[in-house]
Chains A and B, each alone.
Chain A
Amino acid sequence: MLQVNNLHSGYYSDKKYTEILKNINMHVADHEIVGVLGANGSGKTTLMKSIMGDIYASEGDVLYNGKSIYRKENYGKYRRVAIYVKQDSFNSLKPLKTVNFQIGKLYDWKSFDKEYVRLLFKELNLDPEIFNMKAIQLSDGMRHRVVIAMALLTNPELLVLDEPTTGLDSISTYNLLIMLKTIKKKASVLFSSNDVNALFQVCDRVYILYGGEIIEDGEYSSILDGPFHPYTDTLLKYVPLYSNRNREYIEINNKKYGGCVFINNCRYWTKECESQIEYRTINNHGVRCINYPGWKNDTA
């Protein structure tokens, strides 16, 4: 459905081009939840923006059903079926107007099927009394869900969510994830987060981003069973959970730069890591690490 080929992207500041994303290859199939996991500053938001065509791509292409979205004749059609929910959902609504008003505005004040709207909101576990509440009266979790529900009213084929779980408490996060499961029957979902827990609870496939490069991808279960990249291993090991309560943090700083993106903090680095590293795929599980499976045998 969505195919990203060899994408390079970045920002202009003071007429100088800074490249943030390098060589991104990914795809989203029909009726699938795909997660993008990365630390702060790894380029998640930049990836989402360039997939939506909001920023400049210096190289590569994004194909939607085989057609490039960067062409003028395809772009308008693409934006109608792919909906982007920003990190800050408050800016998407008029603060002093009710939800009813926002939905009316979505339909350009033409008549619409009110019963369908009510049914959809009910299906997503939103109370009917929400229609008469103003945007400033809604809580963070509620507002996120209203924005996503409104996005679904336009019957999108792809829903792009940028960090939907920040600022939500655990019960709201749970409700949001349940809702994504329901949406999966209607549309594909691409969502980015820095929260390992929420992502692995709901995604079918996961891409792991570090320093602007995809370093690992695969089915959620195969990543959980045995990560191929040392960074993923560290990420899954150091999650602040009750079960990891007595684990000590070991700081690693090699003072090395160049070559692999993770070379500075990797425990298993060797001389070969400083060269250019190719992306390999083994049984639908891709990895950008020259020492795999060598580093795995060291730990065993």
Chain B
Amino acid sequence: MIQLDGISKVYKIRSGYMKYHDLYALDSISTTFRNNVISGITGSSGSGKTTLANIISGYDTDYAGQILYNSSLVRTLGSVRYVFQDPYTSMNPVKTVEWHLATAASINNVEMSDAIKKLEIAGMDYSIYKDRYGHSLSGGELQKLALAISIIPEPEFIVLDEAFSMMDSITLFKTLNFLKQLKKTISIIYIDHDINRIAFASDYVYILNHGKIIEENYTDKIMNDPLNDFTKELIKYSPDYHRRI
């Protein structure tokens, strides 16, 4: 369980010579992420989704407020894993898939056979992809590899920050279905800009706007009976091939 208590993050924006004004990327967020559910975070671009993910996973330590991991202030190493938006920066283009897996296994003190098993359940065939180089994999394949590497050390939480943006719809469907099985062992925080995808995968939804959580509820309640006007707008404008413009 991750508890956030009054998290704020301020960026200083330069507005003139020696003049700065404050931009609240996150404005006193207090909420709880439960165990063994998929928590979906959504909002339009610029609402602070990535900033929140950075703070939860410990990449950004410059913030105000408190985070409690299982009601302690200390984050144990490897308990929260982060999958980045851009898979090209997290993989080495001139190394093979085998090298990536072996490195991840040796850093986390895991047997290589276990690491291969994680890759297989994420939907990549090890015997086919073993000798492929990073530069020859497509964006969707790299993102699948990144997901597999993130679950190798068996973390308590994984944070997926638009981690499936380059997949086509059938692959995405397959991967999100895999996440639904994964949640029995690992808790997942899934971030995406499309509310329909979030509602497809997650059990509990948080809606962010201008650095504030404006609504949080169970998925069925959010989709069938939204309270906030911004949530209604998000649902209305979400692309759906049944509704023609």
Residues of chain A having any CB pair with chain B under 8 Å: 39-41, 139-141, 166-167, 169-174, 177-178, 181, 194-202, 224, 234-236, 238-245, 248-249, 251
Smallest Cβ distance from A44 to chain B, in angstroms? 10
Asked, given contacts A139-B45, A240-B200, A249-B177, whether A234 binds B239 with beta carbons under 8 Å apart, the answer is no
CB atoms of B196 and A242 under 8 A apart: yes
Are B239 and A201 closer than 8 Å at their CB atoms?
yes
Establish whether residues B239 and A195, one from each chain, have CB atoms under 8 Å apart when the complex forms: yes
Kindly list 17 other residue pairs between chains A and B, CB separation below 8 angstroms, not including A141-B45, A241-B240.
Answer: A39-B168, A40-B168, A139-B46, A167-B165, A171-B233, A177-B245, A194-B169, A198-B239, A201-B240, A201-B241, A201-B243, A224-B241, A234-B170, A240-B200, A242-B196, A249-B174, A251-B174
Residues of A within 8 A of B138 (CB): 40-41
Min C-beta distance of A22 to chain B, whole Å: 20
Closest 4 pairs between A and B when the two form their complex, measured CB to CB: A197-B239, A200-B241, A242-B199, A169-B193
Q: Which residues of A contact B243 (CB under 8 A)?
A: 201
Collect the chain B residues with CB atoms within 8 Å of residue A243's CB: 242
- Please state if B172 and A240 are interface contacts (CB–CB under 8 Å): yes
Min Cβ gap B205→A in Å is: 10
Contact B170 A238 (CB under 8 A): yes
| B197: Cβ under 8 A from any A Cβ | yes
Contact A140 B45 (CB under 8 A): yes
Q: Which one of B44, B171, B200, B239 has the highest number of Cβ atoms from chain A below 10 Å of its Cβ?
A: B239
Name A178's contact: one of B167, B173, B244, B245 (CB within 8 Å).
Answer: B245
Out of A170, A174, A198, A238, name the residue touching B193 (CB < 8 Å): A170
Q: Could you pull out 30 A-B pairs where Cβ atoms are within 8 angstroms? A: A39-B170, A40-B171, A139-B45, A139-B46, A166-B165, A169-B193, A170-B44, A170-B195, A171-B234, A171-B237, A173-B239, A174-B237, A177-B245, A181-B245, A196-B169, A197-B239, A200-B244, A202-B244, A235-B169, A235-B170, A240-B169, A240-B173, A240-B176, A242-B200, A242-B219, A243-B242, A244-B173, A244-B200, A245-B200, A249-B174
Beta-carbon nearest neighbor of B194 in chain A? A170
The answer to the question of B155 belonging to the interface, with a C-beta cut-off of 8 Å to chain A, is no
Contact A239 B241 (CB under 8 A): yes
Chain A interface, DSSP helix/strand/loop, else mixed: helix
| Cα–Cα distance between A89 and B61 once the two chains are bound (Å) | 34
Bound form: Cα–Cα A195–B138 in Å: 17
**Could you give, for residues 167-188 of chain B, a 1 whenever the CB lies within 8 Å of some chain A CB and a 0 otherwise?**
1111111101100000000000
- Shortest CB distance A59–B (Å): 27
CB neighbours (8 Å) of A141 from chain B are 45
Contact B234 A248 (CB under 8 A): no
Closest CB in chain A relative to B84 CB, distance in Å? 15
**List of B residues within 8 angstroms of A177 by Cβ:** 245
A238 vs B169: C-alpha distance in the bound complex, in angstroms? 7
CA distance A199 to B168 in the complex (A): 13
* A residues near B196, Cβ cutoff 8 Å: 197, 240-242
Q: Which of B167, B174, B234 contacts A40 (CB 8 A)?
A: B167
Contacting residues, chain B, for A251 (C-beta < 8 A): 174
Residues of B within 8 A of A249 (CB): 173-174, 177
B201 interfacial by beta-carbon distance below 8 Å: yes
- Nearest residue (CB) in B for A180 is B245
Query: With A and B bound together, what is the CA distance between A93 and B237 in angstroms?
Result: 28
Task: Tell me, in angstroms, the Cα distance from A241 to B198 when the chains sit together.
Answer: 9
A191 to B237, CA, bound (A): 20
Q: Please, which residues of chain B bring their CB within 8 A of the CB of A196?
A: 169, 241
- In the complex, B139 has a CB within 8 A of chain A: yes
Closest to A178 in B: B245
Against A, the Cβ 8 Å flags (1 = close, 0 = not) of B138-160 are 11100000000000000000000
| CA–CA, A238 and B171, complex, Å | 9
In the complex, what residues of B have CB within 8 A of residue A242's CB? 196, 199-200, 219, 223
Bound together, the chains give a CA A200 to CA B240 distance in angstroms of 8
Smallest beta-carbon distance B137→chain A, Å: 11
The interface centre, meaning the residue of A41, A194, A236, A240 with most chain B CB atoms within 10 A of its CB, is: A240
Residues A171 and B245 in contact in the complex (CB < 8 Å), given A194-B169, A240-B196: no
Which residues of chain A come closer than 8 Å to B173, judged between CB atoms? 238-240, 244, 249
B residues less than 8 Å from A39 (CB atoms): 168, 170-171
Q: Which residues of A contact B176 (CB under 8 A)?
A: 240
CA separation between A289 and B74, bound complex, in Å? 60
Kindly state the separation between the CA atoms of A198 and B197 in the bound complex, as whole angstroms. Answer: 14
